[in-house]
Chains A and B, each alone.
Chain A
Amino acid sequence: MTETVRYIYRTRAYYRALGYPSDYVWARFDEVPFARLSQPLSQARIGLVTTASPPDLGNRDSAGKRQVWSGPVSPAPATLFTANVAWDKESTHTDDRASFLPIEALQERVAEGTVGGLAARFHGVPTEYSQRKTMEIDAPQVLERLRADGADVALLSPL
């Protein structure tokens, strides 16, 4: 089996080359929470979470900082803005939104009965240098929005 890419190592080497004096400290936890499904998936409503931004970049506040945002799954957005997050821009592209936000593939699973339903909105979460902002501001907002949508489970697909 081909060796998987070591992104932590690559990122460290890249930022050292940029001359940053200290390495980024990746989040790491000993304890991992785990919630069990309270009903069969065939009765559960699933919510989607992405790291992409809306095409008009309307997820920025007055200071230009990205915030949690939401969009409808129907009609599904044709494209989303992804140039501001890190992905392999030399090897692939994000012109096919379904390749990173799988609305259609899930709608098919709903139609065939594997999943109970798809939440009416998907949610966008900014990728942040500050883990504290993600944990204390963004993650609680995503939770609140998923609950408002009646989502029972969530699928997160970071770019």
Chain B
Amino acid sequence: MSLVARHLEANGIPTVIVGSALDIVEYCGVPRFLFTDFPLGNPCGPPWRRDLQRTIMGQALDLLGSAEGPRTTRRSDIAWPSDDDWRPRYGRVKPEEIERLRKLGEERRERQAELKKPG
């Protein structure tokens, strides 16, 4: 999505990205980024929380209107409304799963090789 934002800006359309993967977006380099520190999946606000979603949209629009130059990141002050410790969870590799993941990878590569075969 960062690549799309860059293309739009280069062609004269100002953009704001609202997203939760701070490192990936900043590593790429984008014009305006509102960072919402939530589990990946709900960048615009926690599910069913219209109040928080409304606030976040207001913050995104403020950023869109006020940024003076590229690489402007603003961090939303809205916190994930749960005590759930979600941060360690995504994409973790548990020691007991190493063998299962290795097999899964092998199967995927075999499938991909099969798809690439001519004919």
Contacts and interface: CB of A to CB of B under 8 A. Distances in A.
Given A35-B13, A159-B40, A10 B60 contact: no
Interface residues of B, number: 73
Contacts of B37: 2, 4
Q: Is the interface of A mostly helix, strand, loop or mixed?
A: loop
21 contacts: A10-B92, A14-B101, A18-B104, A27-B28, A35-B11, A35-B15, A49-B1, A51-B1, A90-B89, A91-B41, A91-B86, A96-B42, A96-B47, A99-B46, A105-B56, A108-B57, A109-B58, A131-B3, A139-B8, A143-B7, A154-B15
Contact of B5 (A28, A30, A36, A156): A156
Contacts of B91: 7, 10-11, 13-14
Interface of A: 2-11, 13-15, 17-20, 26-37, 40-41, 49, 51, 82, 86-96, 98-102, 104-106, 108-109, 114-115, 125, 127, 131, 134-135, 138-140, 142-143, 146, 151-159
Given A99-B53, A100-B43, A114-B61, 5 more contacts: A92-B38, A98-B44, A98-B45, A99-B43, A104-B50
A104 to B, nearest CB: 7
A101 B44 contact: yes
A67 to B, nearest CB: 14
B69 interface: yes
B14 to A, nearest CB: 5
Given A7-B91, A18-B105, A157 B19 contact: yes
Given A29-B28, A139-B3, A105 B13 contact: no
